[in-house]
A and B are shown apart, each in its own frame.
Chain A
Amino acid sequence: MSQVLAIENLSLSIAGARVVDGVSLSVAAGEVMAIVGESGCGKSLTAAAVMRLLPPAVRQEAGSIRLAGVDIARLRESEVRGLRGRRMSMIFQEPQAALDPLSTVGTHIAQSLRQPLHRVRAEVLRMLDEVGISDPARRIDQHPFELSGGMCQRVMIASALIGRPELLLADEPTTALDVTIQAQILDLLRKLARERGTAIVLITHDMGVVADIADRVAVMYAGRIAETGPVDALFAAPRHPYTALLLASIPRLTDVPKSVLAVIPGRVPGAAEFGPGCRFAGRCPLTEPRCEAEPPPLAPIGDGRATACWRWEQMV
């Protein structure tokens, strides 16, 4: 499979601290790659680096980001602008905030094509229909405040996809939505990957969302990938202590009620507290002296899986 996006060894720093450290991941056409992790672990910055929309405080220290083979970091700003919306698009958690309150749905979507609405009206209507907006002929002239959160997210997806990009980055696209609406949006994204072959990077903190939609997943912790692999294998038998604890700490519909959930003691270290070794060492049940001293590399362990843990074989 040819990779639409290939990130290699990406490192981003803020005031000298590596908030994203050596991240590598790829996604192929038609594939859904999830990035999952707790808040502050570097998911959004990784996506922003791909779009070349990093906040000014953030520096790319190392690594390459290739979109169909071309390193985005080396392109001129004008060239990157040409890619956004056409080759790669991004959608966010708060669709209402991302939409201009004063423009209509149609004008907003037409902007991604850099065309006035009257010239592309038919195309916009088709797109609204494709993302499951009922009565597109009426909706196209409405404003964001007239739409529900779920509909705004569909509008954002329509405007992200109308330029037929190969890559869609979706940063917590359903976090602000009810589960009933989330299920519809995830179905829509799944359909886009299957039918259009769009490569999707889906960022979430919800393991349920990962299980529902992803083909592969990268679990991030404190700026690094802890573990990555195909979802079925990773959920069935995690090979990083963080993944295992995270999965065990989620309340499930199948739990014994009021049972004690697994907890990860302590909290995620801030960038100022990163030590030289494994960033999970302070909270890990398997930690040994080497973990504090040397960072474990993200090493392949077969079947398309990789883990960054010195002691993963203890988990087999």
Chain B
Amino acid sequence: MNVLSLRDLRVHFPGAGNPVRAVDGVSFDIVAGETLGLVGESGCGKSTLANAVVGLVAPTGGSVLVRGEEIVGADRTQLRAMRAHVQMVFQDPVTSLNPRMRVGDAVGEPLLVRGIARGQDLRRRVGELLEEVGLRPEHAMRFPHQFSGGQRQRVVIARALALRPELLVCDEPVSALDVSVRAQILNLLVALQARLGMASLFVSHDLAVVRHVCDRVAVMYLGQLAELAPSHALYSTPRHPYTQALLSAVPEPDPVAQRSRARVMLTGEIPSPANPPPGCRFHTRCPIAQAICRSDIPVWREVGESQVACHFA
């Protein structure tokens, strides 16, 4: 079953001139238990897409189905019901927690507000949630500032798990963390996915992190998907020249391997999402662009195990 289905999702923001087409026609599905990675350079629309999925921004058009139910145009009651199934973890664990609220109250809030648990029962559930993310039940009495960055992100994850969501949307969940702490949180996320069987939309600019946790990966460029493929296929045989360029730009922590790698260098700047180029949106930076790329929009098609939008993939 599809936990999430996006069809031609569009989110445009009004701008000084043309609207900013932050998300401009994205379609994909996430099935139960699956983790889909969403990668791309900053400004390509990843966070806007994630926010649209959890109902934090209103789509301009298209469809967002959560467990088959449409949330575009849904009223507040329907959105609230949907939010029980879809939870979000943001990049910054500092601003995601209320500094004046004890972490136990923060973790238990969704259960209390929805009338699922209270009193002794709530305290027990909170203790279990904290243990689930590698903290201790007695941590419930502390305030966020008494925790390190990695521990705060654990608290945020515990709260997101409180309602046992079917879809966890993570927007750059480890980007603000130091290397050694990042590994702890990644291990936790992988273990939780396996144990709870929940699906995830995992947004990150870090391709190595995404490869580590995701089953399939969607590559986004200027509000649209360039490529979508199973993780192993995307990383071993990237089809879209943009995917190839992104991957080849990731420096590997191995100096000997790094020196011998072939590079696909991109030139030029990312165009504005208010004025995307005609034809293939990537043509202004593409190393293999031809005349047709400047005029015709490439159709989304299958190549090997990938789906890709490129005339020459």
- Chain A positions within 8 Å of B, measured between CB atoms, are 38-39, 148, 150-151, 178-180, 182-184, 186-187, 205-212, 214, 231-232, 235-236, 245-247, 249-255, 257-264, 267-268
**What CA separation (Å) do A254 and B252 show in the bound complex?**
9
> What residues of chain A lie closer than 8 Å to B245, measured between beta carbons?
180
Q: Is the CB of B180 within 8 A of A211?
A: no
> What residues of chain A lie closer than 8 Å to B266, measured between beta carbons?
180, 184
> What residues of chain A lie closer than 8 Å to B209, measured between beta carbons?
251
Determine, out of B5-13, B109-117, B255-263, the stretch whose residues face the partner at the interface. B255-263
Q: Is the CB of B211 within 8 A of A250?
A: no
8 Å CB contact of B182 from A212, A249, A257, A268: A249
- Answer whether A258 and B213 are a contact pair too, CB < 8 Å, given A38-B179, A180-B41: yes
> What residues of chain A lie closer than 8 Å to B263, measured between beta carbons?
183
**What CA separation (Å) do A184 and B249 show in the bound complex?**
9
> What residues of chain B lie closer than 8 Å to A187, measured between beta carbons?
265
- Interface flags, B174-189, vs A, CB<8A=1, else 0: 0000111111101100
- Identify the closest chain B residue to A148 (Cβ): B269
| B127 beta carbon closer than 8 Å to chain A | no
Q: Is the CB of A211 within 8 A of B254?
A: yes
- Identify the closest chain A residue to B232 (Cβ): A257
**What CA separation (Å) do A17 and B39 show in the bound complex?**
42
- Answer whether A253 and B207 are a contact pair too, CB < 8 Å, given A183-B265, A267-B181: yes
> What residues of chain B lie closer than 8 Å to A206, measured between beta carbons?
251
Chain B binding surface SS class: helix
8 Å CB contact of B186 from A184, A235, A261: A261
Q: Is the CB of A249 within 8 A of B253?
A: no
**What CA separation (Å) do A187 and B249 show in the bound complex?**
11
8 Å CB contact of B253 from A183, A252, A263: A252
> What residues of chain B lie closer than 8 Å to A268, measured between beta carbons?
178, 180
Q: List 9 A-B contacts (CB under 8 A).
A: A210-B253, A232-B256, A235-B254, A235-B256, A246-B179, A253-B208, A257-B231, A259-B212, A264-B180
Q: Is the CB of B235 within 8 A of A212?
A: no
- Identify the closest chain B residue to A212 (Cβ): B251
Among the interface residues B150, B194, B254, B263, which one has the most CB atoms of the partner chain A within 10 A? B254
Q: Is the CB of A247 within 8 A of B256?
A: no
Q: Considering the complex, which residues of chain B in the window 219-260 have a beta carbon less than 8 Å from any beta carbon of chain A?
A: 231-232, 235, 245-258
8 Å CB contact of A245 from B180, B257, B269: B180
8 Å CB contact of B178 from A205, A245, A261: A205
Q: Is the CB of A211 within 8 A of B258?
A: yes
> What residues of chain A lie closer than 8 Å to B212, measured between beta carbons?
251, 255, 257-259, 261
> What residues of chain B lie closer than 8 Å to A253, measured between beta carbons?
207-208, 211, 235, 247, 250, 252
> What residues of chain B lie closer than 8 Å to A231, measured between beta carbons?
255
Among the interface residues B148, B205, B250, B270, which one has the most CB atoms of the partner chain A within 10 A? B250
Q: Is the CB of A250 within 8 A of B251?
A: no
Q: Is the CB of B250 within 8 A of A184?
A: no
B223 CB to nearest A CB, Å? 16
- Identify the closest chain A residue to B261 (Cβ): A212
- Answer whether A250 and B208 are a contact pair too, CB < 8 Å, given A38-B180, A263-B187: yes
> What residues of chain A lie closer than 8 Å to B269, measured between beta carbons?
148, 150-151
